[in-house]
Chain A
Amino acid sequence: METPMIEVQNLTKRYGEHLALDSVSFSVRHGEVVGFLGPNGAGKSTTMRILTTFMAATSGTVRIGGDCIFENSMHVRERLGYMPENNPLPPDLRVGDYMKFRAQLKRLANGELTKRIDGVMEQCGITDVAGRFISQLSRGYRQRVGMADALLAKPKLIVLDEPTAGLDPNQVRSVRKLIRKLAGDHTVLISSHILSEIEMTCDRVVILHEGRLLASGALEELMTKTSAAVVAEVQTTLANAKEWTAQLALGPTECVEQPGGYVRCRFADTANANTREKIFASANERGWPLRELSRQPPSLEDLFVNLTHGKEAGE
Chain B
Amino acid sequence: MRVFCALVRRELSAFSQGPTGFIIIASVLFLIGLGFVVVLSGLNGQATPMPVTQVFYGTYFFWVILLIIAPVITMRSFAMERASGTYESLMTAPVGDWQVVLAKFTGALVFYAILWLPLLVCSLIVRFYVGESAVLGFGTMFTSALGILLVGCLYMSMGCFASALTRNQAVAAVSGFAMGAALFFTGFFSYFAGDRSDWLSQLARHVSLANHMESFSRGVIDLGAVIFFGSLTTLFLYLTHKVIESRRWK
Residues from chain B with a CB closer than 8 A to the CB of A89 are 86
Residues A88 and B94 in contact in the complex (CB < 8 Å), given A55-B247, A56-B250, A107-B3? no
C-alpha gap A102/B94 in the complex (Å): 10
When the two chains form their complex, are residues A74 and B250 in contact, meaning their CB atoms are under 8 A apart?
no
When the two chains form their complex, are residues A54 and B96 in contact, meaning their CB atoms are under 8 A apart?
no
Residues from chain A with a CB closer than 8 A to the CB of B91 are 54
Residues from chain A with a CB closer than 8 A to the CB of B88 are 49, 54, 82, 84, 88
When the two chains form their complex, are residues A56 and B248 in contact, meaning their CB atoms are under 8 A apart?
yes
When the two chains form their complex, are residues B10 and A101 in contact, meaning their CB atoms are under 8 A apart?
yes
When the two chains form their complex, are residues A77 and B250 in contact, meaning their CB atoms are under 8 A apart?
no
Q: Render A95-136 as a binary contact track against B, CB cut-off 8 A, 1 for contact.
A: 001000110111100000000000000000000000000000
Minimum C-beta distance from B223 to chain A (A): 38
Residues from chain A with a CB closer than 8 A to the CB of B89 are 82-84, 88, 149
With both beta carbons as reference points, the residue of chain B lying nearest to A102 in the complex is identified as B93
Is residue B85 within 8 Å, beta carbon to beta carbon, of the partner chain?
yes
Query: Which residues of A in the span 55-94 have a Cβ within 8 Å of any Cβ on B?
Result: 55-59, 70, 73-74, 77-78, 80, 82-86, 88-93
Residues from chain B with a CB closer than 8 A to the CB of A149 are 89
When the two chains form their complex, are residues A90 and B92 in contact, meaning their CB atoms are under 8 A apart?
no
C-alpha gap A102/B143 in the complex (Å): 39
Is residue B197 within 8 Å, beta carbon to beta carbon, of the partner chain?
no
Is residue A53 within 8 Å, beta carbon to beta carbon, of the partner chain?
yes
Majority SS of interface residues in chain B? Answer: helix
Majority SS of interface residues in chain A? Answer: loop
Query: Which listed residue, A74, A88, A101, A102, touches B96 by the CB 8 Å rule?
Result: A74
With both beta carbons as reference points, the residue of chain B lying nearest to A45 in the complex is identified as B88
With both beta carbons as reference points, the residue of chain A lying nearest to B80 in the complex is identified as A90
When the two chains form their complex, are residues B92 and A82 in contact, meaning their CB atoms are under 8 A apart?
yes
Q: Render B154-188 as a binary contact track against A, CB cut-off 8 A, 1 for contact.
A: 00000000000000000000000000000000000
Minimum C-beta distance from B98 to chain A (A): 12
Is residue A187 within 8 Å, beta carbon to beta carbon, of the partner chain?
no
Is residue A52 within 8 Å, beta carbon to beta carbon, of the partner chain?
yes
C-alpha gap A8/B7 in the complex (Å): 32
Query: Which residues of B in the span 112-156 have a Cβ within 8 Å of any Cβ on A?
Result: none
Q: Which of B13-21, B41-49, B62-70 contacts A (4 or more CB under 8 A)?
A: B13-21
Residues from chain B with a CB closer than 8 A to the CB of A102 are 93
With both beta carbons as reference points, the residue of chain B lying nearest to A89 in the complex is identified as B86
With both beta carbons as reference points, the residue of chain A lying nearest to B96 in the complex is identified as A74
C-alpha gap A59/B249 in the complex (Å): 11
C-alpha gap A73/B96 in the complex (Å): 10
C-alpha gap A57/B249 in the complex (Å): 8
Query: Which listed residue, B13, B18, B94, touches A105 by the CB 8 Å rule?
Result: B94
Chain B, interface size: which category?
A: 20 to 34
Query: Which listed residue, A73, A80, A88, A101, touches B84 by the CB 8 Å rule?
Result: A88
Q: Render A29-59 as a binary contact track against B, CB cut-off 8 A, 1 for contact.
A: 0000000000000000000010011111111
With both beta carbons as reference points, the residue of chain B lying nearest to A86 in the complex is identified as B85
Minimum C-beta distance from A100 to chain B (A): 8
Minimum C-beta distance from A297 to chain B (A): 39
Minimum C-beta distance from B52 to chain A (A): 40
With both beta carbons as reference points, the residue of chain B lying nearest to A50 in the complex is identified as B248
Is residue B23 within 8 Å, beta carbon to beta carbon, of the partner chain?
no
When the two chains form their complex, are residues A56 and B92 in contact, meaning their CB atoms are under 8 A apart?
no
When the two chains form their complex, are residues A92 and B14 in contact, meaning their CB atoms are under 8 A apart?
yes
C-alpha gap A291/B89 in the complex (Å): 56
Q: Render B1-41 as a binary contact track against A, CB cut-off 8 A, 1 for contact.
A: 01100110110011001100000000000000000000000
Query: Which listed residue, A53, A70, A92, touches B18 by the CB 8 Å rule?
Result: A92
When the two chains form their complex, are residues A77 and B93 in contact, meaning their CB atoms are under 8 A apart?
yes
C-alpha gap A78/B2 in the complex (Å): 15
Query: Which listed residue, B13, B90, B92, B249, touches A53 by the CB 8 Å rule?
Result: B92
When the two chains form their complex, are residues A52 and B92 in contact, meaning their CB atoms are under 8 A apart?
yes
When the two chains form their complex, are residues B250 and A59 in contact, meaning their CB atoms are under 8 A apart?
yes
C-alpha gap A92/B81 in the complex (Å): 12
Query: Which listed residue, A56, A70, A84, touches B85 by the CB 8 Å rule?
Result: A84
Residues from chain A with a CB closer than 8 A to the CB of B13 are 92-93, 97
With both beta carbons as reference points, the residue of chain A lying nearest to B3 in the complex is identified as A105
Minimum C-beta distance from A33 to chain B (A): 20
Is residue B95 within 8 Å, beta carbon to beta carbon, of the partner chain?
yes
Minimum C-beta distance from B97 to chain A (A): 10
When the two chains form their complex, are residues B92 and A80 in contact, meaning their CB atoms are under 8 A apart?
yes
When the two chains form their complex, are residues A105 and B6 in contact, meaning their CB atoms are under 8 A apart?
yes
When the two chains form their complex, are residues B18 and A54 in contact, meaning their CB atoms are under 8 A apart?
no
Minimum C-beta distance from A206 to chain B (A): 20
14 A-B pairs with CB atoms under 8 Å apart are A54-B88, A73-B248, A74-B94, A74-B96, A88-B84, A88-B86, A92-B13, A92-B14, A92-B18, A97-B13, A101-B9, A101-B10, A105-B94, A105-B95
* Additional pairs, 8, CB under 8 Å, beyond known A80-B92, A92-B17: A56-B249, A74-B96, A82-B88, A84-B85, A85-B85, A90-B14, A97-B13, A101-B6
3 residue pairs, one from A and one from B, having the closest CB atoms = A88-B85, A92-B17, A104-B6
Q: Which residues of B contact A (CB under 8 A)?
A: 2-3, 6-7, 9-10, 13-14, 17-18, 84-86, 88-96, 247-250
